[in-house]
Amino acid sequence: MSEVTTIKQDFLSKFGLPVSYGSNEDFHSFLFDKLSEFTEFVTNNTCSIDSNHCDLQPITGCSNNISLIVENIKEAFNEYYNGRPDVAYATFERVLVELLQFDALPECSFHKESFYRIRTDKTISSRKDIFHIPFSKRTLVAPQRYSIAGFPCLYLANSIYVAWEEFNRPPIDTFNFAKFQFSTPANFINFSPIDFQESIENVSELLAFFQKIILYPILLICSVKVSKSDNPFKPEYIFSQFTLRWCKEKDQYDGVMYGSTRIHDNSKGKFYNFAIPVSDYQLNTEICPELTQKMKLTKPYNISKIIYQNDTEDKNNVILEIFSKELHKRVPFRESIFAHMENFLQTKELGSVTR
């Protein structure tokens, strides 16, 4: 077994994402311990590399950069806990800028792909109703992982199933659903743990491995599962919300693509969410004019409109199997009600949100 294969396997066995911690544990301690464990792994493996078969200088440089990123994250977290969120954000911003400079911030682009959104409000009837929360109703915007309180965003998923999970599995007959597409190419920061893991699995050289895992600390802090869901303040959301803010300030990004932390481990496939921030508030506007130009969508529908068909759309194996007690445990995706919903939308007209 090669040296890089051994180190890769060790990394993947120890540092899977997303992570969770016990309700009796302190989040600060948990996070710092996990970051320190990762730093120790990087340092130990850097020192153990056989210098006869590898140029150590660039790898040592990567190791030093990783240590610096971890220290900046810890500093940002402490500043936030000390009541200085502005200083915390400025410190965290340095991390994102460094990753950008190291070409370690993964991106992905979309144009004609299908995205989905659901709403549980039964009064929904128009495209505008299933778009982002209007500016006049911003008091309804609660803080979530990639949601800043009072700041509307458009949240989409790569499947109605994923959106259903994000809504805590509402009864199937209680929500409306719609399909979205980008009218022009859209660029996202890719914070998907499964894509990160695949990138690690595919590297064949030690330097490439260390260049990839430099992203791990920021993925870790953005994908910790919430431990106390009833508490008003959720520290697991701090850095995800910082990332969304930074993304809004950068012209090259339309939003953040991230993995769902709500999907059961027994489900198989790729489950993506998309957070798309609105443009700056404009007086006398209800919805974001920029997103209005970028997006097309179907009208919202509910399950009563579904005509069941056997030729459900092939999703190119992006989602293979889904799992939950509500679904009687394990169901092949293409046989699920969600696949039927998505297939139903394929023939529906895409139009502007103002139509």
Select from 19, 86, 89, 82 the least CA-distant residue to 240.
89
Task: Spell out the residues 6+ positions from residue 334 whose beta carbon is closer than 8 angstroms to its own.
Answer: 312, 314, 315
At 321 the pLDDT is 94
Least trusted range by pLDDT, from 13-17, 80-84, 307-311: 307-311
At 53 the pLDDT is 64
pLDDT of 69 > 90? The answer is: yes
Query: Taking all residues of the chain, what is their mean pLDDT, rounded to a whole number?
Result: 92
Select from 355, 345, 354 the least CA-distant residue to 181.
345
pLDDT of 313 > 60? The answer is: no
pLDDT band at 54 (very low <50, low <70, confident <90, very high): confident
**Residues 88-110, mean pLDDT to the nearest whole number:** 95
At 283 the pLDDT is 73
- pLDDT of 220-235, one tens digit each? 999 999 999 899 999 9
Residue % of the chain over a pLDDT of 70: 96
Whether 320 contacts 332, CB under 8 Å: yes
At 52 the pLDDT is 65
- pLDDT of 126-174, one tens digit each? 999 999 999 999 999 989 899 999 999 999 999 999 999 999 999 999 9
Which one of 292-296, 302-306, 326-330 scores highest in mean pLDDT?
292-296
Whether 127 contacts 351, CB under 8 Å: yes
- pLDDT of 240-250, one tens digit each? 999 999 999 98
For residues 281 and 265, give the distance between their C-alpha atoms in angstroms, rounded to a whole number: 39
For 329, phi then psi, to 5°, come to: 75, -105
Whether 256 contacts 274, CB under 8 Å: yes
For residues 327 and 336, give the distance between their C-alpha atoms in angstroms, rounded to a whole number: 9
At 123 the pLDDT is 82
pLDDT of 214 > 70? The answer is: yes
At 306 the pLDDT is 75
At 92 the pLDDT is 98
Q: Is 329 left (phi over 0), alpha (psi -120 to 50) or beta?
A: left
- Name the β-bridge partners of 322: 331
Q: Which residue has the higher pLDDT, 277 or 251?
A: 277
Residue 131: CB atoms within 10 A of its CB come to: 24
At 85 the pLDDT is 97
At 310 the pLDDT is 54
pLDDT band at 275 (very low <50, low <70, confident <90, very high): very high
Residue 4: CB atoms within 10 A of its CB come to: 18
- Domains of the chain: total: 1
Is the Cα torsion angle 175, 181, 183, 184 positive or negative in sign? positive
For residues 75 and 239, give the distance between their C-alpha atoms in angstroms, rounded to a whole number: 12
At 324 the pLDDT is 86
**Residues 20-49, mean pLDDT to the nearest whole number:** 94
Q: How far is CA 48 from the centre of its chain?
A: 34
At 355 the pLDDT is 80
Type of residue numbered 216: Y
For residues 351 and 45, give the distance between their C-alpha atoms in angstroms, rounded to a whole number: 54
Quote the domain boundaries for residue 246.
1-355
